[in-house]
Chains A and B, each alone.
Chain A
Amino acid sequence: MSQQTINFTLNGVPTRVSVPVQMSALEMIRNVTGLTGTKYGCGEGECGACTIILDGVSLNSCLLFAVECDGRQVTTVEGLADDPLGRRIEKAFVDAGAVQCGFCTPGMVMQARQLLERNPRPSREEIQRGIEGNLCRCTGYVKIIDAIEAATKE
């Protein structure tokens, strides 16, 4: 199994890891760097539980090779602790009742972060479109949409 050493910034911290070339970014984040906020939900880019932000773009980390993070900025849900918009979104999720089992929540929060950065005043419909790649089995999405809407109003 061929290994490769990569350097990248993880939530602002310079990081150097050696990973098998076929390892996914999700696996690296969870099992190599030990950050478990990014969740495995399906492994095929269908559920959004593993959403991260790579150089300012949200994507499913299960579909990304770890080695593709080399030289780039990776933000996971843990990185939002230092991010005012991220913190506002998290608080809005709590206040709106958008969290039930919570397993999809980190991915939702990351996707919401991406959506609001690109479109700070989205309509409800734009919010719905913005999170259509993130599945939730508990909430019926209503309160997640409420939360993202509330996070736009500071």
Chain B
Amino acid sequence: MPETIQRDSLIGKRITKLDAPEKAGGKTRYIQDLDVQGQLYGKILRSARVHAKIKSIDTSAAKALPGVHAVITAADVPYQRPIGVAKDHFPLKTDRVRSLRDEIAAVAAETEAIAEAALKLIKVEYEDLPVLADPNDSLKPDAPLIHPEPHGATAKHDHLKQAQGIAYLGKPDNIAMTFDYQQGDVAAGERESDVVFEDTFHLHYVTHCCMGVSGIIAEFDPSGNLLMYSNTQVPFLHKREFAEILNMDPARIRIIQPPIGGGFGSKLDIYPFEPITVFLAKATGRPVKLVFTREEEFLASPTRQPVILTLRSGCKKDGTLTFRTVRTLHDNGAYTSWGATTPFVMMQTISSLYRVPHCLYHTKAVYTNNPYAGSFRGYGNLQATFAVEQHMDMMAEAIGMDPLEFRLKNAQDPGEVTPQGMHFKSCGFKECLTTAAEASGFLAKFKANEADKAKPGRFKRGVGMASMLHVGGGAKIYPSDGCGTILKMDDFGSVTLITGASEIGQGSETVLAQLVCEELGVPLSAVRVINNDTEITPWDVGVHASRTTFIAGNSAIGAARKARGKILDAAAKMAGLNAADLDLRAGHIVEAKNGTVVMTLAKLLRQLHFSDKAELVVTSFYYEPPSKHQDKHFKGDVSAAYAWATQVVEVEVDTDTGIVRLLKVTGAHDVGRILNRLGLEGQIEGGIVMGQGYALTEELMVENGVVRNPGFRDYKLVTAPEIPEMDVRFIETMDGEGPQGAKGVGEAPAICIAAATANAIYNATGVRIMALPFTPEKVYRALHAAKKEAA
């Protein structure tokens, strides 16, 4: 036993992920790698038409195929309830299909090959309906309705209509959701303006492309309890929703999350394949496993929501922002998932990234026959930032101010309460701006590129900046934003941390373990994290909104502090010392002032059996600190803390081909405090490259409702040789409510890249492009058009 131990801390260090060794060795078993004894394989028949009535379905030949255990259609599951944010579709479609992904029938068979063969034997007769492929057309008075009142549903389902949403009620127009927000008087703001711009920005379809495709295993035990192995990011919300859809007691539903091959927001909703697999398990009395193909993943998983955004903004000659008016049209697709609610996040950027006295924001999400949009890292903020940050550059240029000075003049300060009612307690925005600008040499490059713009030469360099504001302290989206922790210690000084928080690769289990080590003075190797079974873990709202470090971290700290208190009290009693004079270090109880070892932690824990007659088990719950939730006018806070960032992007534009290369990204992020530097860098770097894909290479091409590129061959993710040089700086503002001062960061790094790239292309070429992605063709055409105009 050492005589003295000095205090050591893991906070801010480069801590390797707890699950990395098994993942690197290929030993981790994802949903694709799990098999359950006796399992059958599920497959889904999807619509062959974009928009059509289902006239008839003939499953007889499929049912007769040897090895097929069940073929089901909507008629076989009369108990199914609608799913989605607006409850606007059934897992298995009833009278019509509204997009090419729509689920018509499903098969459970002994092998995947048999299930596949059975699908080909199902005959469906359709009657085509006119296709709505453009959200503008959806608003026309003569537009066909995507969700007319279902034929014959009225009388039969009258009692369910109100509760069960659009699937029963229908919708007399194609408007899925609207958001309206107002602060001040934009007309007054416009009268004060010296400069006014109005432009329309077009944001495209992209999709998550998790490397692990979607999948689920569902089985019922002999007592009728449902067990699902699921990739969901929201297990506890799923439990409740599944209970509704299946008309089951939620207590009889258990969700186990195997390690998840990527999330990025794609797994926040219930998608039809999940209840369908449950229906198959019910129909066959066997466990059923259903895993997507990559093509299916492209066709039938959610997308980022495409947006047409018209922004009108103004400022005074001295650089003061005066007003912003925004109208957006969101292509909701055929059904409503979380994508429709992204305006809620977009309005924060519009009203509160900078000080703007007057704002007006109207948005509509409309039904079309396109793929339906879900939530995706950044949640609307990439789209809003793309428009807002381009206008910032345009206004700065118009009044002859540089982009940095203009932003600094309007940037938020700590302590600010915005007209929308958001309280910025910790706010390193101005430091982000100056740090990113200085580290990248922004101003000098900006001016040099401007001077070079008109000179002859094929390759042009450009530099552009963009900033962002995002939730960093949980998100007050659901009525509660809580997370629970159970912490127990064994006789040997090991800690089991049982948390509601989910791990999707972002490294939450490692950060949570670190926070516990900090309180309990145990090495990381002594902590085991259990985080994937609703039967064991306490409630949590889910992994989304960059909330896990903040919310689950505070919850874990709460439990660890309780345990620490108990341990130190017991040790003080045994050693005849004051608890306040003791500390926990490296698995020992020590005297705080000089580190003199009093006893080992393990010995004390064993002693507790006799003194306390209690194992050391503590529980803790963290709820976001009390504050005003947003009211029905969207005034109020959406988070306990806010994250800030500025990214400077340097590009080279090949004016002969339109190819834009990202040379360097300099990012400055207000993260509150660095907890795990290695994990933090990984989040930022990954986010930057995801932002690069959004800006330059990725586009889900949807033509008349048909996805033209459902594969990595034609949907281009950024590859290793294409990544930019990165210089990432962290601003530590030590948030008062954050765990050890930290704030959320998961979404932040992806948000600014497209906007900053647009500004950089302008700096390089003098051509401003307001539609994404910046493919060579689009850039070439824009440059060419500008040249023609000039001539």
B136 on the interface (CB 8 Å rule)? no
A70 on the interface (CB 8 Å rule)? no
B344 on the interface (CB 8 Å rule)? no
A131 touches B17 (CB 8 A): no
**Distance, CA A104 to CA B721, complexed state (A):** 17
B723 touches A44 (CB 8 A): no
Q: Mark B521-545, 1 if CB is under 8 A from A, else 0.
A: 0000000000000000000000000
A132 touches B719 (CB 8 A): yes
**A102-B29 CB under 8 A given contacts A44-B294, A47-B712, A90-B24:** no
With both beta carbons as reference points, the residue of chain B lying nearest to A134 in the complex is identified as B720
Question: B506 touches which one: A38, A100, A125, A127 (CB < 8 A)?
Answer: A100
With both beta carbons as reference points, the residue of chain A lying nearest to B208 in the complex is identified as A137
A37 touches B17 (CB 8 A): no
B504 touches A37 (CB 8 A): no
**CB proximity to A under 8 Å, residues B1-39:** 14, 16-17, 19-21, 23-30, 32-33
Segment at the interface with A among B345-353, B434-442, B686-694: B686-694
A64 to chain B, nearest CB (A): 17
A37 touches B26 (CB 8 A): yes
**A95-B681 CB under 8 A given contacts A43-B293, A140-B688:** no
A139 touches B682 (CB 8 A): yes
Q: Mark A17-49, 1 if CB is under 8 A from B, else 0.
A: 000000000000010000011111111101101
* Size of interface on B: residues with Cβ below 8 Å to A: 53
Question: B689 touches which one: A30, A49, A80, A141 (CB < 8 A)?
Answer: A141
With both beta carbons as reference points, the residue of chain A lying nearest to B23 in the complex is identified as A102
Interface centre among A37, A100, A135, A138, by most B CB within 10 Å? A138
B210 on the interface (CB 8 Å rule)? yes
With both beta carbons as reference points, the residue of chain A lying nearest to B723 in the complex is identified as A141
- Contact partners of A90 in chain B: CB under 8 A: 21, 24-25
**A143-B685 CB under 8 A given contacts A41-B211, A97-B679, A101-B212:** yes
Q: Mark B696-736, 1 if CB is under 8 A from A, else 0.
A: 00000000000000011100010111010010000000000
**A97-B26 CB under 8 A given contacts A42-B711, A43-B294, A137-B209:** no
B16 touches A95 (CB 8 A): yes
**A100-B505 CB under 8 A given contacts A40-B213, A46-B713:** yes
With both beta carbons as reference points, the residue of chain A lying nearest to B678 in the complex is identified as A97
**Distance, CA A149 to CA B342, complexed state (A):** 40
A97 touches B681 (CB 8 A): yes
A132 touches B720 (CB 8 A): yes
Q: How many Cβ-Cβ contacts under 8 Å join chain A to chain B?
A: 173
B205 on the interface (CB 8 Å rule)? no
- Contact partners of B720 in chain A: CB under 8 A: 127-129, 131-132, 134, 136, 141, 144-145
Question: B29 touches which one: A36, A49, A139, A141 (CB < 8 A)?
Answer: A36
- Contact partners of B712 in chain A: CB under 8 A: 42, 44, 46-47, 135
B506 touches A102 (CB 8 A): no
With both beta carbons as reference points, the residue of chain A lying nearest to B262 in the complex is identified as A101
B260 on the interface (CB 8 Å rule)? yes
A102 touches B19 (CB 8 A): yes
- Contact partners of A104 in chain B: CB under 8 A: 211
B766 on the interface (CB 8 Å rule)? no
B213 touches A129 (CB 8 A): no
A105 on the interface (CB 8 Å rule)? yes
With both beta carbons as reference points, the residue of chain A lying nearest to B263 in the complex is identified as A101
**A93-B24 CB under 8 A given contacts A132-B720, A134-B720:** yes
**Distance, CA A38 to CA B32, complexed state (A):** 11
A103 on the interface (CB 8 Å rule)? yes
A102 touches B32 (CB 8 A): no
- Contact partners of B209 in chain A: CB under 8 A: 135, 137
> Would you mind naming 12 contact pairs between A and B with Cβ atoms under 8 Å apart?
A46-B711, A47-B294, A97-B17, A97-B681, A103-B262, A106-B25, A128-B723, A131-B720, A135-B719, A138-B682, A140-B686, A140-B726
- Contact partners of A49 in chain B: CB under 8 A: 211
A111 to chain B, nearest CB (A): 10
A94 touches B16 (CB 8 A): yes
Q: Which 4 A-B pairs have the closest CB atoms?
A: A37-B26, A101-B505, A102-B23, A77-B26
Question: A139 touches which one: B21, B26, B264, B686 (CB < 8 A)?
Answer: B686
A76 on the interface (CB 8 Å rule)? yes
With both beta carbons as reference points, the residue of chain B lying nearest to A43 in the complex is identified as B294
- Contact partners of B16 in chain A: CB under 8 A: 94-95, 97
A102 touches B28 (CB 8 A): yes
A74 on the interface (CB 8 Å rule)? no
**Distance, CA A49 to CA B678, complexed state (A):** 24
**CB proximity to B under 8 Å, residues A57-95:** 76-78, 80-81, 90-91, 93-95
Interface centre among B21, B26, B507, by most A CB within 10 Å? B26
**A143-B33 CB under 8 A given contacts A94-B16, A134-B720:** no
B21 touches A47 (CB 8 A): no
B742 to chain A, nearest CB (A): 17
With both beta carbons as reference points, the residue of chain A lying nearest to B507 in the complex is identified as A100
With both beta carbons as reference points, the residue of chain B lying nearest to A89 in the complex is identified as B24
B726 touches A142 (CB 8 A): yes
B144 on the interface (CB 8 Å rule)? no
Interface centre among A41, A80, A91, A132, by most B CB within 10 Å? A41
A102 touches B505 (CB 8 A): yes
A42 touches B686 (CB 8 A): no
- Contact partners of B679 in chain A: CB under 8 A: 97
- Contact partners of B170 in chain A: CB under 8 A: none
**Distance, CA A47 to CA B209, complexed state (A):** 11
A94 touches B24 (CB 8 A): yes
- Contact partners of A137 in chain B: CB under 8 A: 208-211, 262, 264, 686, 690, 717
A10 on the interface (CB 8 Å rule)? no
B25 touches A81 (CB 8 A): yes
A112 to chain B, nearest CB (A): 10
Q: Mark B664-679, 1 if CB is under 8 A from A, else 0.
A: 0000000000000011
A116 on the interface (CB 8 Å rule)? no
- Contact partners of A129 in chain B: CB under 8 A: 720-721
- Contact partners of B776 in chain A: CB under 8 A: none
A102 touches B24 (CB 8 A): yes
- Taking A39-B32, A137-B209 as known contacts, 6 extra A-B pairs with beta carbons closer than 8 A to each other, sorted by chain A number, are A36-B29, A39-B211, A101-B504, A102-B259, A140-B686, A141-B720
**A94-B20 CB under 8 A given contacts A77-B26, A135-B712:** yes
B14 touches A97 (CB 8 A): yes
- Contact partners of A128 in chain B: CB under 8 A: 720-721, 723
- Contact partners of B33 in chain A: CB under 8 A: 30, 36
A135 touches B717 (CB 8 A): yes
**Distance, CA A102 to CA B208, complexed state (A):** 16
A53 on the interface (CB 8 Å rule)? no
- Contact partners of A41 in chain B: CB under 8 A: 211-213, 294
B94 to chain A, nearest CB (A): 32
B565 on the interface (CB 8 Å rule)? no
Interface centre among A42, A100, A128, A143, by most B CB within 10 Å? A100
Q: Mark B251-269, 1 if CB is under 8 A from A, else 0.
A: 0000000011111100000
- Contact partners of A91 in chain B: CB under 8 A: 24
- Contact partners of A80 in chain B: CB under 8 A: 25
**Distance, CA A36 to CA B27, complexed state (A):** 8
- Contact partners of B293 in chain A: CB under 8 A: 43
A77 touches B719 (CB 8 A): no
With both beta carbons as reference points, the residue of chain B lying nearest to A36 in the complex is identified as B33
